[in-house]
Amino acid sequence: MNKRYSWNFGLLNTFEDQLKTVEEKNLAFSTKWKTREDYLSDPKVLSEAILEFDDLQKNYGTTGDLGYYWGLRESLDQSDPAIKAQNNKLEEFSVKLYNQNQFFLLKLSKVPGNIQKIFLESDLLIDFRHFLEHLFATGKFTLSDPEEKILNLKNNSAHSSWVRMTSQFLSEEKIASKTLEEYSSDLQLPDAKIRENAGLAINEILGRNAKIAEHELNAILYDKKINDDLRGVTRPDLMRHLADDIDSEVVDAMIEAVSSKFSLAHKFYETKAKFLGMAKLNYWDRNAPIENTQVNYDFETSVNLIANVFGNLDPEFQKIFMDFVDNGQIDVYPKLGKRGGAFCAIERPTQPTYILLNHTNNLRDVLTLAHEAGHGINNELMKSQKCALNFGSPLSTAEVASTFMEDFVLQSLPKDKTLIMKKLDDDISTIFRQVAAYKFEQELHETFRQKNYLSKEEIGEIFTKHMASYMGDFVKQNAGTQNWWVYWSHFRNFFYVYSYSSGLLISKAMQNKVKQEPKFIEKIKWFLSQGSSDSPKNLFLSLGIDITDKDFWLTGISEVEKLYEEVSLLV
């Protein structure tokens, strides 16, 4: 394994002169098609236009590689004003070009139903059939071209800049030489005193940023309310469902099924308290190991473990993963100013995947690497799609790849009660905690729309209510933990969190199929290569999984129940 622990930006074109070519290519498309109407009725002409548009997205986008590069740079150093200036300049450049060619999809989304039918049945457009289906569905909520341009222009000041501000402030926080990320890692350690110190430090950091986050969150909630009102959207989470190409009824059924089983999480935490010899768990004790058997998973150990698991599933998975490691596509360690958490990034199929970690050598970090590598493998397999417009997965499928890989890595470790409890920790957090978080978001948006401003105390009260609902009576809602919404970045990417729960429940079904028939992994690879070429519902049906069946979600939860029953006998 090459000793690379930071990103290798040599894989990207970082020269500014590319922007001239990007601008010329976008202008050429606009010049050719803006005043034409024939592509809105003739399948042959639309085929020509959409292939040219697809090529534009694949090879140029609106900033070439430069926007991707500087966005990644900012995640490594959120406090550098020169990097911020570059990103703001590129954001302005990008929005200008996006607005210039927005007419194409906007007009296409509004064609009459009879023309839609002709396009969807045309063999000339077969590669773009589902892209068009999805475009027509979202077209019901798009505005006029000038209105959409205004919304695009204000997004940075009304949403993105606010979110980056809170993220930067948190990334610069330190207490006794430790960052917020390092204290978060300490919550996984067996020493109760270390966990308590970490929990109190996190309380202090989040508490002194809560007023700032209050203003930030209210600003972006207000911006979303305005956007939804303009579009005639009736429920705050609808645009997320449309973007994810999933029916609201499917998400509602999953949320209802998981919520009906919150009692399982309650029993789990009661059992965990007994294992730890505590009357009740502190909020920061939820993910503590039940025995002092902490293993040091340095990055090399983590990579070897994950590579072996991936190789046993399929050699191509292992190769893709090791290429990430050897080519410098993973930034590994935490540092002051670096964005917290982890992510896997890609913008266009002609670009490399990059993964950000904050690795601190515990088991959680192994699973995080496996999770993000799952996204990365998904990215690389999707590059087989010949149409760039079909590259990329909606959340409803993207989190399946990541949880599938993560779960297999965890299951590969030697089984004992400590590891089984760790597995349950992850299942409870991924399934039940994320659904509680989704319900927090639902109430947050609804309450904001009634009051038009929420204090940090009101936000904290709603947050605590929903965290307590899934944790039950054996986890304390300690003073200060009402502010733990402050660092939870997913709440700024509205209604994102449901996908973790649905993704794990779906991936459990896939795992069972692979365990029963190892060759089924070929179908999994096919699924991961499909991107957005068909609806999630249809793609899952191809694997024998019906996400519209309410009982399907309960089947996945029953597996968690079986694992809990197994470990509860060992108390």
Task: Look at residue 2 in the predicted model and tell me its pLDDT.
Answer: 61
* 301, pLDDT greater than 60: yes
Q: Hey, what amino acid is at 455?
A: S
Q: What is the pLDDT of residues 242-256, one digit of tens each?
A: 999 999 999 999 999
Fold: same for 9-142 and 249-568: no
C-beta of residue 508 within 8 angstroms of C-beta of residue 556 = yes
| 144 class by beta-carbon count within 10 Å (0-12 exposed, 13-18 middle, 19+ buried) | exposed
Rounded to whole angstroms, the Cα distance separating 220 from 260 reads: 31
Query: With pLDDT > 90 as the criterion, what percentage of the chain qualifies?
Result: 89
Task: Look at residue 550 in the predicted model and tell me its pLDDT.
Answer: 85
* 221, pLDDT greater than 60: yes
Identify the CA nearest to 450 among candidates 230, 496, 458, 536.
458
Lowest-pLDDT range of 125-134, 153-162, 287-296, 366-375: 287-296
Neighbours of 32 (CB within 10 A): 12
Q: For 267-291, what is the mean pLDDT?
A: 95
Task: Look at residue 4 in the predicted model and tell me its pLDDT.
Answer: 82
| 562 class by beta-carbon count within 10 Å (0-12 exposed, 13-18 middle, 19+ buried) | exposed
Task: Look at residue 1 in the predicted model and tell me its pLDDT.
Answer: 57
Maximum Cα–Cα distance across the chain: 73
Lowest-pLDDT range of 31-40, 150-159, 310-319: 150-159
* 396, pLDDT greater than 90: no
Rounded to whole angstroms, the Cα distance separating 521 from 171 reads: 40
Q: Tokens 């933990």 label which residue?
A: 481
Task: Look at residue 365 in the predicted model and tell me its pLDDT.
Answer: 94
Q: Hey, what amino acid is at 351?
A: Q
Lowest-pLDDT range of 284-288, 293-297, 334-338, 359-363: 293-297
Q: Tokens 């040091």 label which residue?
A: 296
Q: What is the pLDDT of residues 175-204, one digit of tens each?
A: 999 999 999 999 999 999 999 999 999 999
Grade residue 483 by pLDDT with cuts at 50, 70 and 90: very high
* 292, pLDDT greater than 80: no
Token output for 311: 């190789």
Rounded to whole angstroms, the Cα distance separating 257 from 261 reads: 7
Task: Look at residue 118 in the predicted model and tell me its pLDDT.
Answer: 98
CATH value of 9-142 in 1.10.238.10, 1.20.1090.10, 2.40.30.20, 1.20.140.70: 1.20.140.70
Task: Look at residue 397 in the predicted model and tell me its pLDDT.
Answer: 87
CATH value of 249-568 in 3.40.50.720, 1.10.1060.10, 3.40.50.1000, 1.10.1370.30: 1.10.1370.30
Identify the CA nearest to 485 among candidates 453, 459, 510.
459
* 569, pLDDT greater than 90: no
Considering only residues 569 and 82, tell me which one the structure prediction assigns the higher pLDDT.
Answer: 82
Annotated domain spans of the chain: 9-142, 249-568
Buried b / exposed e along 149-164 (16+ C-beta atoms within 10 A): bebebeebebbebbbb
Q: For 441-467, what is the mean pLDDT?
A: 98
Strand partners, 345: 354
Task: Look at residue 212 in the predicted model and tell me its pLDDT.
Answer: 97
Q: In the chain, what are the helix, strand and coil shares in percent, each to the nearest 5?
A: 70, 0, 30
| Pair type for strands 178-179 and 174-175 | antiparallel
Neighbours of 440 (CB within 10 A): 22
2: phi then psi, degrees, rounded to nearest 5: -65, 145
* 151, pLDDT greater than 80: yes
Give CA separation, 526 vs 18, 131, 384, 523, in Å.
34, 19, 10, 5
Query: With pLDDT > 70 as the criterion, what percentage of the chain qualifies?
Result: 99
Angle between helices 129-138 and 113-121 (to 10 degrees): 160
Residues 6+ apart with CB under 8 A from 48: 39
Q: Tokens 């010049």 label which residue?
A: 31
Q: For 104-130, what is the mean pLDDT?
A: 97
CA 512, 515, 519, 524 dihedral sign is: positive
Task: Look at residue 249 in the predicted model and tell me its pLDDT.
Answer: 95
Q: What is the pLDDT of residues 510-557, one digit of tens each?
A: 998 999 999 999 999 999 999 999 999 999 999 999 999 889 999 999
CA 437, 440, 446, 451 dihedral sign is: negative
Mean pLDDT score of the chain: 95
Single pTM value for the model: 0.85
| 380 class by beta-carbon count within 10 Å (0-12 exposed, 13-18 middle, 19+ buried) | buried
Residues 6+ apart with CB under 8 A from 121: none
Side-chain half-sphere of 500: how many Cα atoms within 13 Å? 20
Task: For residue 339, give the DSSP letter.
Answer: P
Considering only residues 293 and 477, tell me which one the structure prediction assigns the higher pLDDT.
Answer: 477
Grade residue 95 by pLDDT with cuts at 50, 70 and 90: very high
Token output for 317: 């998975």
Task: Look at residue 295 in the predicted model and tell me its pLDDT.
Answer: 82
